[in-house]
Amino acid sequence: MSANTVRLTVAQALVRFLAAQHTERDGVEQRLFAGCFGIFGHGNVAGIGQALLEAELADPQALPYYQGRNEQGMVHAAAAFARMRARLTTLACTSSIGPGATNMVTGAALATINRLPVLLLPGDVFATRVASPVLQELERLDGGDVSVNDAFRPVSKYFDRVWRPEQLPSAALSAMRVLTDPAETGAVTLALPQDVQAEAWDWTVELFAHRVWHVPRPVPEPAALARAVEVIQTAQRPLIVAGGGVAYSEATTALQAFCAATGVPVAETQAGKGSLPYDHPLAVGAIGATGTTAANAVARDADVVIGIGTRWSDFTTASRSAFAAPGVRFVNVNVAAFDAAKHAGVSVVADARVALESLAEALSAWSVQPGYREQAGRLAAEWDQTVERAYSLRHAPLPAQSEVLGVVNAVSGPRDVVICAAGSMPGDLHKLWRTRDPKGYHVEYGYSCMGYEIAGGLGVKMASPDREVFVMVGDGSYLMMAQELVTAVQEGVKLIVVLVQNHGFASIGALSESVGAQRFGTRYRFRGESGRLDGDVLPVDLAANAESLGADVLRAGTLDEFRAALIKARDAERTTVVHVETDPLVPAPDSESWWDVPVAEVSGLDSTRRARADYENAKSSQRPYL
């Protein structure tokens, strides 16, 4: 070993490298990796596992190890953590080879869709192939250099496989660049053959130097800004659609200043909800298929739509039916050129905060007509009354879900976080949740992945221990992935889990009915005498299940009991699950909007034929934005 090299295994070198990485934005420097989740098997126990042990013994803060229960759950926790930390800090995830690795593929897709940085370190089969096929190796007849880890390629923003120790420095540096680039970020995968992980090499010490990745705030090109200003100035009925990019850029103050000065109302996507407090005079709330009637009314007539940090999902545009004015034009502020170019918009490739500040300056002499400003306030006030009614339906014998959400909203503090991902609650929350803090609303609706809720809640609380975290999880999602409750208990990470039991898929049940499919396969029922799944309700006791995983559990029968239990859970020290049963057949207030889910064009069923006629009617309002 020469003076300026150090001999370590590839895994030891990677762990040491990761512990030395930092980000900087707005002059604030922090660790890029707050730790590493892992589940060990023969594909990583002797490599990354051994390296994490050595690191922990030398310095417990270097790269703290967290034990996951399911590899997918680890990635969800890492993604949620990164979202809370505005993408400046994240967690790494190490897995064994084969199933441990492919369990992370779903999490990778979720992170990439939501543009959240997560570093995935799946083990891989021997580079030398001396013992092939190894346990869990999928052999392909058409290529010796392919493993199951190639499934990460389409869902990762950067993928590399470290076949030889010499490749580690360039692979690791490329991985860090992508993780910390706001336009490129997402899942980054470094596949690590199990023999290579344990192989020693003489590393140049500079590899382990304290390294700072400066997270840029790209400024808008002056010509692009001028084009945007020109379009906005002509607007009579402009609308801002705030997406997740507003939160990632920490641009909420700049957004408030811009709309206060110009009077442009603000609608919010799922990821953008919280950009303005719900009672801000220019907040018209959720937009699109799960939107408020206020935002959707403003959207319908808008002549200029200013998208800020949004990827324009079908839920946001109501499958391209939300913006109905002939000649409606888009201005898209986005750090990613790919998103900025959507809907033939005027593209402003820039950081949201910087762009909003530049737009405010350039438009300082311009504002909307007072009447337009007032109309937004009036529509929003009407919707707020709708919310109040939905919060207080007094539905019997079982409460409506909207009442449960109302209680959670009332019991939670202004800075607390509500988290959800799939089922009927994301839509109801989007419409009904009164968000008071930019980070108070955390609904993963890019991948809308059942199973994100509890695992994601763990990540949120790890990122923000000073906030209470209210995890909203349906029985279907709970059954898919509840096991990170054990991790929360193990780490003393306190979650409040609201487990909403409605014996099946309320969301897909309603959707099924609307497409003429009669709620087929969406209820949790025994197979009955008819031979179909229409028998008694399954005797599943999810409260007992949660108890068995080590959580404290409170069972609420009525809404009053639920409120009392939730207050108790909020004030408790330990992770507490509040179990409540709701009526799955009470819908949330209507959005006056649409979502394109194609209905069978021919059918022997009356229900389907009727749904098809409705579908064709709604479909006629869909249009390209060119």
Ligand X SMILES: Cc1ncc(C[n+]2csc(CCOP(=O)(O)OP(=O)(O)O)c2C)c(N)n1
Interacting residue ranges for ligand X, rule: CB under 6 A = 422-425, 448-451, 474-477, 502, 505-508
Instruction: Give, as ranges, the residues between 491 and 550 that touch Mg ion (CB under 5 A).
Output: 502
C-alpha separations of 98 from 42, 124, 175 in Å: 10, 7, 22
Binding-site size for Mg ion (CB under 5 A) equals 4
- Choose the stretch contacting Mg ion; rule: CB under 5 A; options: 26-34, 103-111, 468-476, 536-544: 468-476
Q: Can you tell me the distance from the alpha carbon of 225 to that of 221, in angstroms, rounded to the nearest whole number?
A: 6
Residue 509: CB minimum distance to ligand X, A: 7
Is residue 38 a contact point for Mg ion (CB under 5 A)?
no
Closest by Cα among 239, 565, 209, 200 to 375: 239
Q: What angle do CA 473, 477, 483 make, to 5 degrees?
A: 90
Q: Which is nearer to Mg ion, 462 or 472 (CB)?
A: 472
User: Considering CB distances under 5 to 8 angstroms, the limit depending on partner class, which of ligand X, Mg ion, none binds residue 294?
Assistant: none
Residue 285 near residue 292 (C-beta atoms within 8 A):
yes
Closest by Cα among 279, 287, 278, 281 to 305: 287
Residue 547: CB minimum distance to Mg ion, A: 20
Residue 344 near residue 626 (C-beta atoms within 8 A):
yes
Residue 556: CB minimum distance to ligand X, A: 17
Q: Which is nearer to ligand X, 277 or 589 (CB)?
A: 589
User: Considering CB distances under 5 to 8 angstroms, the limit depending on partner class, which of Mg ion, ligand X, none binds residue 424?
Assistant: ligand X
Residue 404: CB minimum distance to Mg ion, A: 12
C-alpha separations of 274 from 82, 283, 285, 549, 603 in Å: 17, 10, 9, 33, 43
Q: Which is nearer to Mg ion, 268 or 475 (CB)?
A: 475
Residue type, 83: R
User: Considering CB distances under 5 to 8 angstroms, the limit depending on partner class, which of ligand X, Mg ion, none binds residue 422?
Assistant: ligand X
SS3 325: coil
Is residue 309 a contact point for Mg ion (CB under 5 A)?
no
CA 222 vs. chain centroid, Å, equals 33
Q: What angle do CA 22, 26, 31 make, to 5 degrees?
A: 15
Q: Which is nearer to Mg ion, 106 or 502 (CB)?
A: 502
Is residue 474 a contact point for Mg ion (CB under 5 A)?
yes
**Could you check whether the bond before residue 326 is cis, i.e. omega within 30 degrees of 0?**
no
Q: Which is nearer to ligand X, 270 or 507 (CB)?
A: 507
Residue 511: CB minimum distance to ligand X, A: 8
Q: Which is nearer to Mg ion, 351 or 475 (CB)?
A: 475
Q: Can you tell me the distance from the alpha carbon of 312 to that of 244, in angstroms, rounded to the nearest whole number?
A: 11
Residue 517: CB minimum distance to Mg ion, A: 17
Give me the residue whose beta carbon is nearest to Mg ion: 474
Residue 330 near residue 342 (C-beta atoms within 8 A):
yes
Residue type, 418: V
User: Considering CB distances under 5 to 8 angstroms, the limit depending on partner class, which of Mg ion, ligand X, none binds residue 577?
Assistant: none
- Choose the stretch contacting Mg ion; rule: CB under 5 A; options: 117-125, 165-173, 357-365, 466-474: 466-474
Closest by Cα among 102, 105, 18, 30 to 65: 18
Is residue 245 a contact point for Mg ion (CB under 5 A)?
no
SS3 484: helix
Q: Which is nearer to ligand X, 487 or 507 (CB)?
A: 507
Is residue 475 a contact point for Mg ion (CB under 5 A)?
yes
Q: Which is nearer to ligand X, 235 or 407 (CB)?
A: 407
User: Considering CB distances under 5 to 8 angstroms, the limit depending on partner class, which of Mg ion, ligand X, none binds residue 425?
Assistant: ligand X
CA 15 vs. chain centroid, Å, equals 27
Q: Which is nearer to Mg ion, 249 or 502 (CB)?
A: 502
Residue 472: CB minimum distance to ligand X, A: 9
SS3 sequence, 98-125?
A: CHHHHHHHHHHHHHHHCCCCEEEEEEEC
C-alpha separations of 113 from 136, 174, 593 in Å: 28, 20, 24
User: Considering CB distances under 5 to 8 angstroms, the limit depending on partner class, which of Mg ion, ligand X, none binds residue 507?
Assistant: ligand X
Binder to Mg ion among 193, 291, 476, 509 (CB under 5 A)? 476
Q: Can you tell me the distance from the alpha carbon of 9 to that of 3, in angstroms, rounded to the nearest whole number?
A: 18
Residue 612: CB minimum distance to Mg ion, A: 27
Q: Which is nearer to ligand X, 272 or 451 (CB)?
A: 451
User: Considering CB distances under 5 to 8 angstroms, the limit depending on partner class, which of Mg ion, ligand X, none binds residue 508?
Assistant: ligand X
CA 322 vs. chain centroid, Å, equals 23
Q: Which residues bind Mg ion (CB under 5 A)?
A: 474-476, 502
